[in-house]
Amino acid sequence: MLTRLIIFILAVSITGCALPSKKLAEFGKASEIAVATISTPKNLESQLLKEIAVNENACRFLSGSRAYRLAAKSKTQPSTLIAEQAKVADALAAYTKALTEAAGGDSIAKLNEAAKGFNGAAGELAGSAKAPATIGPAVGALTNLGVRLSEARRTQKIKDVMESVTSSLFTFSLRLEEDSQSVDDTLAKLIVSWDKHARCVLRASRRSGSTPQKIFLDFDTAKREILAEQARAKKAASAATALDEAHTVILASDGSIDEGLDILNTHLSDLVAIKQAAASGGN
């Protein structure tokens, strides 16, 4: 589903000329997909912790042990680092969604609030107590009064909000890069544990006379999907960097929205190839 959505975004972005607001909407939608990449480590960790607990107890049950539990909770605590990153990613997702909506005619004041939320979350992650940047009361006043902005004026107001998050985007992308090895190691260890318990279920199901071939195929499909998500998780830092660079290009005096879209589309194209390669097989 994600791959099809990425391909759709790529196709839309190269068709004909469009008003600046429409181009910004395309940029916002591509940004939403990029942010989804940043959220991948948290989503994958949650999936692995749940499935490890399920498979561990399924193995006990199939092996004849009475020490199995239903709806068992994971014995491993989620990573604090991944949780902290996910909190910022959620705020960034709210910003990119509001960016898409504002470009489509929704409230710019709502976009400004989302930007402030992201700046605040990014500041907390960086250990900063600085107040988040804002774009001033004029935008809120205009939008709250329902004044219809001209195309050029609306586009500029949206760019003003984009300008307010550039510092936070830059520091967040650096933080993701600095912590990437730690996150990679955490997920890799969980995948090893997942594999161990999945193999235990496979061995026990073969002995129990159930349907081992179907169970094997289900686990094989699941492992391929996990490997694809692991590959995607490794691109979290580069997704944030692409989003930061795209904002910088669009806001440059000689920059354009198309140039920013090109940066994100290159990242999204790479993401499709990486996920497909990872899903084709692994250890």
> What is the residue whose two structure tokens read 């939008």?
143
| pLDDT value of residue 138 | 41
| pLDDT value of residue 34 | 92
| pLDDT value of residue 2 | 53
Burial-class residue 174 by CB neighbours within 10 Å (0-12, 13-18, 19+).
middle
With contact defined as beta carbons under 8 Å apart, do 161 and 111 qualify? yes
48 is in which domain, residue-wise? Answer: 2-279
Identity at 116, one-letter amino acid code = K
Token output for 162: 């984009």
- Cα torsion angle, 250, 255, 261, 262, sign: negative
| pLDDT value of residue 147 | 42
Counting as low any pLDDT under 50, the low residues of the chain are: 4-18, 128-148
Q: What does pTM read for this prediction? A: 0.83
Torsions phi, psi of 280, nearest 5?
-70, -20
Torsions phi, psi of 115, nearest 5?
-65, -40
Residues 76 and 155: their CA atoms lie apart, in Å, by: 47
Residues 66 and 57: their CA atoms lie apart, in Å, by: 10
Token output for 143: 């939008």
Identity at 101, one-letter amino acid code = E
Token output for 5: 């959505």
Token output for 46: 């949650």
pLDDT digits (tens, 9 = 90+) for 97-132: 999 999 988 889 999 999 999 999 999 998 843 434
Residues 241 and 271: their CA atoms lie apart, in Å, by: 14
Residues 132 and 115: their CA atoms lie apart, in Å, by: 8
Residues 139 and 6: their CA atoms lie apart, in Å, by: 32
| pLDDT value of residue 270 | 81
DSSP designation for 146? T
pLDDT digits (tens, 9 = 90+) for 51-90: 999 999 999 999 899 999 999 889 999 999 999 999 999 9
| pLDDT value of residue 12 | 43
DSSP designation for 130? P
Q: How far apart, in Å, are the Cα atoms of 47 and each of 40, 78, 226?
A: 10, 11, 9
Q: How many helices (H) and strands (E) does the chain have?
A: 11, 0
With contact defined as beta carbons under 8 Å apart, do 111 and 99 qualify? yes
| pLDDT value of residue 209 | 65
Split into its structural domains, the chain has a count of 1
Residues 233 and 245: their CA atoms lie apart, in Å, by: 19
